[in-house]
Amino acid sequence: MESVKPPSLDRENSSGQRPRMADDPFALFDAWFAEAKVAEINDPDAMAVATADELGHPSVRMVLLKDHGPAGFIFYTNDESDKGRQLAGNPNAALLFHWKALRRQVRIEGSVKRVGTGDADNYFATRSRESQLGAWASDQSRPLDKRETFENRYEEIKHRFEGQSIPRPPHWGGFQVIPRVMEFWQDRPHRLHERRVFKAQADGSWSEGLVYP
């Protein structure tokens, strides 16, 4: 796939002035995400999720963004996984999108809350049957003695639900990251990058400014 060159943030408008900076980080994210869906060969919705336990020990992994908007950024996982247990004890997270083809990053920091059971049920129903079976068969993040054990459990679950719909496991659900900080990073020559930072205000608005690269 041919890479897409991102538009220059320095480009002047017809009056010879730089365009006004956006005041809505979600609109800017939507615009960048739309370009990433065209430019990225694999998984433009992939994001790193960083969490920490009660002692502050950090952990990070890649997941897929499943929904987003002004209310937050949503992903789904096993509640008993490392990230699920860490978020239960410390409901804060950081996200990172890295779109290499566009030479852009978006960093998000915020609090986390659980997705409602109805929304989780609706999303689970859209997953492939194989993925649904895997959610039942996997004790995510727990020790596994050998691959065959997992594969045998998968076959047992497959037989258990044969000929019927597969409900969402009670230990599987979604998390919504509610941003308090959103940073948009754009590559520039000679590492003179541009970093635009939005911070949530008490009245629901966003402040915006630049920080040094």
Closest CA to 95 of 18, 170, 175, 13: 175
- 136 membership: H or E segment, kind and range: helix 129-137
How big is the CA angle at 143 (ends 141 and 147), to the nearest 5 degrees? 100
For residues 6 and 35, the answer to whether their CB atoms sit within 8 Å is yes
Active-site choice (11, 20, 147, 191): 191
- Told to judge if 160 belongs to the known catalytic residues of this protein, a careful annotator would answer no
- Residue recorded with tokens 């911070």: 199
Label residues 22-43 b or e (16+ Cβ within 10 Å = b): beebbebbeebbebbeebbeee
Burial of 91 per CB tally in 10 Å (0-12, 13-18, 19+): middle
Q: Helices 129-137 and 147-160 sit at what angle, rounded to 10 degrees?
A: 120
Catalytic positions are 191
